[in-house]
Chain A
Amino acid sequence: MNQAFCRVARWVAERTGLDQVWEALFARKIPEASGIAAWLYTLGSASMFVFSVQALTGALLAMNYVPSPDHAYDSVKFISERVLLGSFIRGLHHWGASFMVVLVVLHLLRVYFMGAYKYPREGTWMVGVALLLIVIGLGFTGYLLPWDQKAYWATAVGTNIAGQTPVLGPYVAKILKGGSEMGAATMTRFYALHVLVLPALALGLIAVHLFLVVWHGISEPPSRKDDGGRP
């Protein structure tokens, strides 16, 4: 059994170099940390795991969802009440969305307070900030989709805030809403952003982010050095 598995693994490794990829990604050297500091290093992986859960549950929800004012609410209700495990899948997506924002912000705080954004990792930081904006964008666009009172008025407030910007505001608000009034065009717009544009951008930037993490290695936890009082 073990022999056979080893033969298959070697066959794949010789043809794909997957063992070296594994080595570079998972067997790479990481700084020694223990206790709470060690757990803080898991926030990035946790964000990525929740992102993949969101992608999976999102794809499933899209199978029963219609981004249109006359069907959105009923189709969401249909998922929650009539589809087998529909409320579970929707619940995962709902809570995952909030959890994602929490994790990503905690991850940002960890990187900030450990000074892990410093040379040579500024690129990783910048891509990370772009990813944070994408996560917030996903949260904002996804919030409208159930088309209930909360969703409608939250988006009304959100687009009105955008409209308050001097000079460009009214145009930004119209672009967001797909017109001067919130309605069918707003829904399709938010849906397209939520399931096509933002996830695609996120995937690309996650790839860059991860490459940079592996390329530069992970920064050590900061430590106070006794060299004349310098921090």
Chain B
Amino acid sequence: MENEGCPCAGRDGGPKMTRQGFLALAATGLAAAIGAVLSASGLTYFISPAFGKDEENWIDLGPASDIKPGTPVKVDYVERRRDAWVVNEKRSSAWIATADGKEFTAFDPRCTHLGCPYRWDQARGQFLCPCHDAVFSGEGAVVSGPPPRPLDRYSVKIAGGRLLIQPQPQKGA
């Protein structure tokens, strides 16, 4: 009893490794290794949502050539959003405008004031919201009325002649 009074005496009490000491060490080491593998993999599983990448959810709206310059078009689409093991479908729409048939802009179809659906007035060349008489220009800027900011936009890209949008609103610029 070299380590008198120590509750863990005898496990690594002396410099010389005894047979019993070696077996105790081996057993403890093996247990520690198994415990480490189990807890490390369990912990990885538990915290894995923190590393998950958000899926890019591009929605195909059809051939880009369908949108004629000068006249914004309201395009209806079905958005499929993956929520873990569930896929939710949501019917929605977006206003697509282009000045030259090359650069496209997609607007969130809700007025930035209180979320009413607005419409395109071809004669005036402006977006009109019927709820509180808001008026937006063809580029989405506020012309008159109560909206606090221009129309919200969605990310747009063209791939293989098809128009793709990502319907997460970015605050109007």
Contacts and interface: CB of A to CB of B under 8 A. Distances in A.
Interface in A73-88: 74-75, 77-78, 82-86, 88
A89 B42 contact: yes
B48 A85 contact: yes
Given A2-B12, A6-B6, A64 B42 contact: no
A53 B41 contact: no
A218 to B, nearest CB: 18
A88 B48 CA distance: 13
Interface string B138-166: 00000000000000000000000000000
Interface stretch (A55-63, A107-115, A208-216): A55-63
Interface residues of A, number: 28
A88 B7 contact: no
A10 interface: yes
Interface in A49-73: 53, 56-57, 60, 63-64, 66, 71
Interface in B103-149: none
B1 interface: no
Contacts of B42: 56-57, 60, 89
A10 B5 contact: yes
A13 interface: yes
A84 B51 contact: yes
Contacts of A18: 7
B8 interface: yes
Contacts of B48: 83-85
B53 to A, nearest CB: 11
Contacts of B41: 85, 88-89
Given A53-B38, A57-B42, A63-B46, A9 B8 contact: yes
A119 interface: no
Interface residues of A: mostly helix, strand, loop or mixed?
A: helix
A75 B85 contact: yes
A170 to B, nearest CB: 36
Q: Main secondary structure on chain B at its contact with chain A?
A: loop
Contact of A60 (B8, B12, B45, B52): B45
Nearest to A75: B85
B18 interface: no
B92 interface: no
Contacts of B46: 60, 63
Nearest to A76: B85
Nearest to B9: A6
Contacts of B85: 66, 71, 74-75, 77-78
Contacts of A82: 84
B168 interface: no
A177 to B, nearest CB: 25
Nearest to A84: B48
Q: Which of B6, B7, B41, B46 has the most CB of A within 10 A?
A: B7
Query: Taking each of B6, B44, B48, which has the highest tally of chain A beta carbons within 10 Å of its own beta carbon?
Result: B6
A85 B12 CA distance: 37
B7 A89 contact: no
A74 B86 contact: yes
Given A18-B7, A71-B85, 10 more contacts: A5-B8, A6-B3, A10-B7, A56-B42, A60-B46, A71-B86, A84-B51, A85-B44, A89-B41, A89-B42
9 contacts: A10-B5, A13-B7, A19-B7, A56-B38, A60-B46, A71-B86, A82-B84, A84-B51, A89-B42
Interface of A: 2, 5-6, 9-10, 13, 18-19, 22, 53, 56-57, 60, 63-64, 66, 71, 74-75, 77-78, 82-86, 88-89
